[in-house]
Amino acid sequence: MTLWKTDSIENNTLQNLIEKFTVGNDPQLDQTLVPYDVDASIAHAEGLASIHILNVLELKKIIQALEDIKALHAKSHFPITQAQEDCHTAIEDFLVEKLGDTGKKIHTGRSRNDQVLVAMRLWERDTIDQIIYSTKELALVFISFASKYEFMPMPGFTHTQIAMPSSIGMWAGSISEMLLLNIEALTDFRKTLNRSPLGSAAGFGVGFNLPREEMAQSLGFDGCLQVALTSQNMRGKIEADFVSQLVSLSATLAHFANDLVWFSSSPFQFFDVAPELTTGSSIMPQKRNLDPAELLRGSHSHMLGHECSLRNLSSHLISGYHRDLQLSKEPTMKAVNLIQSMLEIAQALIENIMPNEEALIKAFTPEIFAADKANTLVKKGVPFRKAYLQVKKDLSDIKPMTKAEILENLKCKTHLGASGNLGLDLLRQRLTNS
C-alpha cells in the first residue's frame, strides 16, 4: 500500500490504473538516488536529534540502519516496489520495519518534496563534478594533440570554402579552449546547485526549529535555500538550467564530431581514422563509416530535447509543488547519462585519429595565401584597401608554396592565438586552475 493511503483497495481496477500511471518509472529511476537520500536522511536525523526529537540512542540506531540500506543498495539488494512509489518511502519502510516507532520518527519535519529535492541536488552535484573532471581530461587530450601537430598545415575555412592558412594545432587548440569555457561555466553553475533545500518540507516550512544551515553544511552545501518556497519553485527550473549547461557542452562535442565527419571523408581525407572506430555497410563492401562521430553529432539534438522537455515542464506552474515536477527526473538523468557517453566517445575519437599531412598540404591551393599577400603589400606601405583590390585583381599571380614555405607562413604569425603562437601552455595552465 502507498505511503499516503489510509485503506487498502488492492483489487480496484481504477485505483490500480491511477497508481501505475502516477508512479511511472520512479522506482527504477530512484535506484540512482538511494545513497543520496540516505545521506540526506542522516543529516535530517542529526538535525532532529539537535532539537531533541530523537535521543542519542535513537539517532545511533537510525544512522546504523541507514548505513545498512546503503550497503544493501551497493549490492543491488534494496528493491523499490510500485506500491512504495519511490526511494524515500522504501527507506522509511525499511526503518520502520527494523526500528519500529523509532523509524516512524524520521519523517518528522520533512516532506517527500524536500527529500527528492535534496537527493537530486546531491546527485546533481556529484554528476557535475564527474562531468567537469571528464571534460578536463578530454581538453587535455586535445591540447596534447594540438602540441604534437602544432605546425602541421591545415586549411582554414570560411563559408565552407578554403580561406586562409591554419594548422592542426589551431584546430585542436580551439576545441580545447571551447571545452575549457564549458568547464568554467559548469564550475560557476555548481555554485547555484550547491544550496540545500533540506528542511523546506512541502515548501512552506515546518513547526520545528530545524537547524537548516547546520544540516546543509553537514552535506557539504554552501548553505541552504533561504525561503522555503524557493526550493519548490526551483524544482524543474534548476534541472533545466543544469541540462542547459550540458547542452552547451554537447554542442562543443557535436562541433568536433561534425568537423571530423567531414575532414575524414573521402573528399577531404585530412585525417586517417583507426579501423576500430568505423562500421561497415550491408550492401557496399568498401565502406568504412565513422558512425561514432555521426552519432556524437546527432546526440546533441537529444540533449536539446531533454532541455526543451524540462523548460516546458516547469514554465507554466503556479508557486508550490505540482506532480508534473516528478517528470523532471527522467530527462535530467538521461541528459547526464548521454553527456557522459558523449565525452567518452569524443575522447576515443581524438585518441585514434592521425592527420594526413599529404592531403592537408595538397589542400593549400594558391588562393589560400591571398590575404597574406595583401598584408605583405601593407607592410611595404600600401594602404590595405588598395592592396586588397590589387591582389583581388591578380589572384592568378599568387604562386603555390612548398611545405617549408607553408611552415614559415604559419610560424611568422606570432600574436597570441595566431598559428605561430597558439599559447597552448597558457591553455594548459587555465585548465589546471579551473
Do residue 148 and residue 297 come from a single domain?
A: yes
Do residue 311 and residue 254 come from a single domain?
A: yes
* pLDDT at site 78: 96
What average pLDDT does this structure show over 245-249? 99
* pLDDT at site 7: 60
Q: Is residue 404 part of a domain?
A: yes
Do residue 156 and residue 240 come from a single domain?
A: yes
Q: Is residue 434 part of a domain?
A: no
pLDDT at 11 over 70: no
Do residue 152 and residue 225 come from a single domain?
A: yes
Do residue 357 and residue 380 come from a single domain?
A: no
Do residue 169 and residue 49 come from a single domain?
A: no
Do residue 338 and residue 394 come from a single domain?
A: no
Q: Which of 354, 345, 177, 338 is nearest to 257 (CA)?
A: 345
What average pLDDT does this structure show over 256-279? 94
pLDDT at 342 over 60: yes
Do residue 239 and residue 388 come from a single domain?
A: no
The boundaries of the domain holding residue 57 are: 13-108
Do residue 340 and residue 401 come from a single domain?
A: no
Rounded Cα distance between 340 and 343, Å, is 5
Task: Determine how many CB atoms are found less than 10 A away from the CB of residue 232.
Answer: 25
What average pLDDT does this structure show over 226-253? 97
Beta bridge partners of residue 164, listed in sequence order: 156
pLDDT at 222 over 60: yes
Q: Is residue 4 part of a domain?
A: no
